[in-house]
């Protein structure tokens, strides 16, 4: 049977574009891609890229104070949101153009409309056109979800936070994950009076407890009103403000309320159930280690599969899919020991197991140090950083590395290579320290602070 295409990709985010580009460019496959919204997906358009630019913008308020302490005659001012936002929008437009050109230059045919699956080898576009393909790849990503409660329609999500008409005077951010915690730091740094509610006992659930505790403490020191064990009961409009009644008995007014309490896969209305593609409890597409669904010709990658919802992971999954399907080299996706950075303020870099998870698995030694970094201490700051290694008593392998410090994301990328290779504590010890830098502590900790 002949098909219109070798591969039809639904979704133009990082994972879908990478798979389409490599299948077409390196393997000369005939490829088409359909995207109903903007090319680049969550990461480029309403996620990591604009968020990191906002982090950069928000950090200058602290830099100004440090500069004064170092002897620079600078006067802190307020952020001009319109200037920053105009440049942000222009940059996102530029990046979307880059993604479109990548597809075009590799010979991928693009359709700027929604597509859904009709059968194992057919997709239908929004205009009713049907296309056939030997393989179908679904890479439709996910979206933020606001739970339903009285007044929940007054909340915005991370999608809208990038496009505020003006910077609010006050904001409530609800959630304790990395998106909520990152935006609390961003808004606070931009001069917005920032409150964060989280119903749990500590923010950043699932990460190392000591690291989470330090980050929360530092966020409070920076002026963020972090209220743990607190949730919203109801919200009402009160003139230009939003009145929020909370479970801790308080009632406050905010200009903006942003919810970052969870995301859901974009897998509805794709025709999956009709062709027999299984979906999981959260609506995610169920796939095997090769990203293949129960329908052999249909694959899925990225956040729509709800495995590890990170952009570089979606890209890896796209590459593994091409290896498996177009290079006859079955390649399972490796989700082990993924280094990641959380752009809270302070920044958090982590790879491997938390102290709690490692100790539940086997006897471990914990090497940790917390100190004031030279740059901040000189300026009279009280900020602390944390360097932490979790080491197996039996094999001496470093099972986890956790860094809370400025530039932690850059550090963890390199530490992640060592941990992924199976480096032991002695391998770290044999490495000469780079002085004076914060990261030298990773190779100079001689005695464990505790065993677990």
Q: State the binding site for NAD(+).
A: 175-182, 262
Residue in the structure block whose two tokens are 């329609």: 153
Q: Is the Cβ–Cβ distance between 389 and 445 less than 8 Å?
A: yes
DSSP line for 32-86: EEE-SS-TBHHHHHHSHHHHHHHHHHHHHHHHHHHHHHTT---------HHHHHH
Q: Is the Cβ–Cβ distance between 379 and 372 less than 8 Å?
A: no
Angle at 308 between CA 203 and CA 205, to 5 degrees: 15
The β-bridge partners of 198 are 228
Q: How many CB atoms lie within 10 A of CB 109?
A: 17
Catalytic residue list contains 85 = no
- Helix, strand, coil % in the chain, rounded to nearest 5: 35, 25, 40
Q: Which of 201, 191, 198, 248 is nearest to 57 (CA)?
A: 191
Q: Characterise 71 by phi-psi region: left (phi > 0), alpha (psi -120 to 50), beta (else).
A: left
Q: What letter does residue 192 receive in the DSSP assignment?
A: -
336: helix, strand or coil: coil
Please tell me the distance from the alpha carbon of residue 280 to that of residue 299, in angstroms, as a whole number.
15
Angle between helices 178-189 and 48-69 (to 10 degrees): 40
Please tell me the distance from the alpha carbon of residue 197 to that of residue 114, in angstroms, as a whole number.
36
Give per-residue burial for 380-395: e unless 16+ CB within 10 Å, then b: ebebbbbbbbbbbeee
Contacts of 433 (CB under 8 A, 6+ apart): 440, 443, 444
Angle at 55 between CA 54 and CA 61, to 5 degrees: 100
The size of the chain, in residues, is 452
Q: Which of 276, 31, 271 is nearest to 131 (CA)?
A: 31
- Residue ranges for the binding site for FAD? 52, 303
Tokens of 391: 């080491």
Q: Which of 414, 419, 413, 416 is nearest to 395 (CA)?
A: 419
Burial of 17 (0-12, 13-18, 19+ CB in 10 A): buried
Task: Just list the catalytic residues.
Answer: 435
């Amino acid at each position: 049977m002949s098909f219109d295409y070798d591969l039809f990709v639904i979704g133009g985010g990082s994972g879908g574009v990478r798979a389409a580009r490599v299948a077409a460019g390196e393997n000369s496959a005939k490829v088409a891609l359909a995207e109903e919204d903007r090319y680049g997906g969550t990461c480029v358009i309403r996620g990591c890229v604009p968020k990191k630019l906002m982090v950069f913008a928000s950090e200058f308020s602290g830099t100004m104070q440090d500069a004064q302490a170092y002897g620079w005659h600078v006067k802190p001012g307020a952020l001009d949101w319109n200037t920053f936002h105009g440049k942000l929008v222009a940059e996102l437009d530029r990046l979307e153009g880059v993604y479109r050109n990548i597809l075009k230059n590799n010979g991928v045919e693009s359709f700027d409309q929604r597509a859904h699956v009709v059968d194992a080898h057919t997709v239908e576009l929004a205009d009713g056109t049907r296309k056939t393909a030997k393989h179908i790849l679904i890479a439709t990503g996910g979206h933020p979800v606001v739970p339903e409660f009285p007044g929940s329609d007054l909340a915005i999500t991370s999608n809208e936070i990038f496009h505020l008409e003006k910077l609010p005077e006050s904001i409530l951010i609800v959630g304790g994950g990395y998106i909520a915690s990152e935006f609390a730091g961003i808004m606070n740094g931009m001069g917005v009076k920032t409150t964060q509610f989280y119903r749990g006992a500590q923010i950043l659930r699932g990460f190392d407890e000591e690291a989470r505790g330090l980050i929360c403490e530092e966020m409070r020191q920076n002026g963020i009103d972090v209220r743990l064990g607190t949730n919203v009961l109801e919200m009402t409009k009160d003139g230009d403000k939003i009145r929020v009644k909370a479970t801790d008995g308080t009632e406050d007014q905010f200009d903006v309320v942003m919810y970052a309490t969870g995301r859901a896969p974009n897998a509805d209305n794709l025709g999956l159930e009709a062709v027999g593609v299984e979906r999981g409890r959260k609506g995610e597409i169920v796939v095997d280690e090769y990203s293949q669904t129960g329908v052999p010709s249909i694959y899925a990658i990225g956040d729509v599969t709800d495995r590890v919802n990170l952009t570089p992971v979606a890209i890896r999954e796209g590459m593994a899919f091409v290896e498996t399907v177009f290079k006859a080299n079955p390649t399972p996706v490796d989700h082990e020991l993924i280094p990641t950075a959380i752009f809270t303020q302070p920044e958090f870099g982590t790879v491997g197991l938390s102290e709690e998870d490692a100790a539940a698995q086997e006897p471990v030694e914990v090497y940790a140090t917390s100190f004031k970094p030279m740059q901040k201490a000189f300026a009279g700051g009280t900020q602390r950083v944390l360097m932490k290694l979790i080491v197996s008593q039996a094999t001496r392998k470093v099972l986890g590395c956790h860094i809370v410090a400025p530039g932690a994301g850059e550090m963890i990328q390199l530490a992640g290579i060592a941990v992924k290779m199976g480096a032991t504590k002695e391998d770290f010890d044999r490495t000469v320290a780079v002085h004076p830098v914060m990261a030298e502590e990773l190779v100079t900790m001689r005695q464990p602070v505790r065993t677990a």
